[in-house]
Amino acid sequence: MINMPEWQRCLDAQFGSPKPGQYRAQPEDFWVDEQLDFTPEAYGEHLWLRVEKRNQTTLDVVNTLSRLCGVTPRDIGYSGMKDRIAVTRQWLSVHLPGRDAPPELEQSLNALGITVVEQARHPRKLKRGVHRTNRFVLRLSGEAIENEDFVSRWEALCQHGVPNYFGPQRFGPEGRNLQRAEALLNRGWRKRDDRQGMMLSTARSFLFNELLSARIADGTWSQPLAGDTLMLDGTQSVFRIDASDHTLQARAVELDVHPTGVLWGVGEAGQGDAAGYEARLLEHYPGLCSGLQRSGVKQARRALRMRLLEPQYAREPGAARLSFSLPRGSFATAVLGELMLAN
33 is catalytic: no
Calpha distance 243→49 (Å, rounded): 48
**Do residues 134 and 79 make contact, with C-beta atoms less than 8 angstroms apart?**
no
Options 29, 33, 75, 83, the catalytic residue: 83
Calpha distance 335→338 (Å, rounded): 5
The 3-state DSSP class for residue 160 equals helix
The secondary structure of residue 334, as a DSSP letter, is: H
Residue type, 314: A
- On the CB side of 199, CA atoms within 13 Å amount to 22
The 3-state DSSP class for residue 78 equals strand
Q: Is 267 left (phi over 0), alpha (psi -120 to 50) or beta?
A: left
What end-to-end distance do the CA atoms of the chain give, in Å?
31
- Catalytically active residues, by annotation: 83
